[in-house]
Amino acid sequence: MSETSYVFPPPSVPAASVRGGGRYPVRRIFCVGRNYLEHAREMDLGADVREPPFYFTKFAVALTPSGSRIAYPPGTENFHYEMELVVALGAPAFEVAPGDALACVYGYACGLDMTRRDLQAKAREKSRPWDLSKSFEQSAVLSEIVPASLIGHPARGTITLAVNGTVRQRADIADMIWSVPEIVANLSRFYHLGPGDLIYTGTPAGVGAVRPGDRLEGSIEGVGTIEAVIVEPQ
């Protein structure tokens, strides 16, 4: 075997379906930690809207398409959904101004930021990293990506999440503390963003726990829908 050969076949590139055809290869998954005032209050994350956004990340391999069966993850007894608007970048963005940020956006999707809430609470309490609570297998559920060339750049529209047919989250993406251009601009101060980078933009109030057998159905007006079913641990 030559020095340049892989010692095992390289894993396939995580990718999402694109409306109209093609696949969007995912490089990195960024998430905004607090972007709706009512959710910040319910989570006691602090409600100072003047405070800059903060972020965490998920493995790209946590990506799971809408319609999947999500195995209840190990190590938690409080597994939560968070319905979110997701931004998919299509061009390099580094230290961009908010006014230039949307030109770097390829499209939008519906996302579920699945969370081990009990582990997140413990991490917050001890000022430890959020990785175990946020970045794990099947934790980044994603609908098809809709190109901005088809729908523009939605700045308002109802975002909802229902569990077994009962609406649990209902808000408007216009209620985000930090808008999409502001998030892209801010995050681009810390990373050389580019094609393949997803940004989950935060969840509204109404997060809650799910159990095996539960069906999640989300929607964002003007963007699309997402669904998943929670199944027994595997």
Sort strands 105-113 and 208-209 into parallel, antiparallel or unpaired: unpaired
- Interaction of residue 169 with Mn ion, rule CB under 5 A: no
- Interaction of residue 81 with Mn ion, rule CB under 5 A: no
Query: In this structure, are residues 117 and 209 in contact, taking their beta carbons and an 8 Å threshold?
Result: yes
- Both tokens assigned to 154: 């939605």
Least Å distance between CB 2 and Mn ion?
Answer: 44
* Residue whose C-beta lies closest to Mn ion: 113
- Interaction of residue 214 with Mn ion, rule CB under 5 A: no
Which range in 44-52, 161-169, 183-191, 202-210 contacts Mn ion by CB under 5 A?
Answer: 202-210
* Number of residues counted as binding Mn ion (CB under 5 A): 3
Least Å distance between CB 36 and Mn ion?
Answer: 10
Least Å distance between CB 22 and Mn ion?
Answer: 27
Least Å distance between CB 30 and Mn ion?
Answer: 11
Which range in 39-47, 105-113, 145-153, 225-233 contacts Mn ion by CB under 5 A?
Answer: 105-113
Least Å distance between CB 49 and Mn ion?
Answer: 17
Which range in 17-25, 151-159, 160-168, 203-211 contacts Mn ion by CB under 5 A?
Answer: 203-211
- Interaction of residue 82 with Mn ion, rule CB under 5 A: yes
Which range in 55-63, 92-100, 103-111, 201-209 contacts Mn ion by CB under 5 A?
Answer: 201-209
| 3-class DSSP string for the chain | CCCCCCCCCCCCCCEEEECCCCEEECCEEEEECCCEHHHHHHCCCCCCCCCCCCEEEECHHHEEECCCEEECCCCCCCEEECEEEEEEECCCECCCCHHHHHHHEEEEEEEEECEEHHHHHHHHHCCCCCHHHHCCCCCEEECCEEEHHHHCCCCCCEEEEEECCEEEEEEEHHHECCCHHHHHHHHCCCCCECCCEEEECCCCCCCEECCCCCEEEEEECCCEEEEEEEECCC
Q: What are phi and psi of 58, to 5 degrees?
A: -125, 150
Pick from 76, 135, 203, 219 the residue near Mn ion by CB under 5 A.
Answer: 203
Which range in 7-15, 65-73, 77-85, 98-106 contacts Mn ion by CB under 5 A?
Answer: 77-85
- Interaction of residue 113 with Mn ion, rule CB under 5 A: yes
Question: Residues in the site for Mn ion, rule: CB under 5 A?
Answer: 82, 113, 203
